[in-house]
Amino acid sequence: MNKGNAAKPESDLEERKPHRVRLPGFLVEGEIGLGDAIKRVTSAMGIRPCSACEKRAVALNQWITFSRW
């Protein structure tokens, strides 16, 4: 039997926490997701978000967050 190929229960996959990257001095707020950061930059450039952009932002926020501490 190979234990390395065992499937993880779905509850473990749903409770996965995002990676946290510390950026002290660059953030005014306590925490921001990667999707929200990209949304702010593109909005500042005049690009309006669509429904696919919103879904992408949610997925990226679940993947990486930036924090001050």
Concatenating the DSSP letter of every residue in 7-40 gives: PPPHHHHHTPPPEEEE-TTT-SSSEEEHHHHHHH
- pLDDT (tens digit, 9 = 90+) per residue, 2-55? 555 555 555 554 567 888 888 777 666 688 889 998 999 999 999 998 999 999
Count of CB atoms within 10 A of residue 66's CB?
A: 19
- The answer, as to whether pTM is greater than 0.85, is no
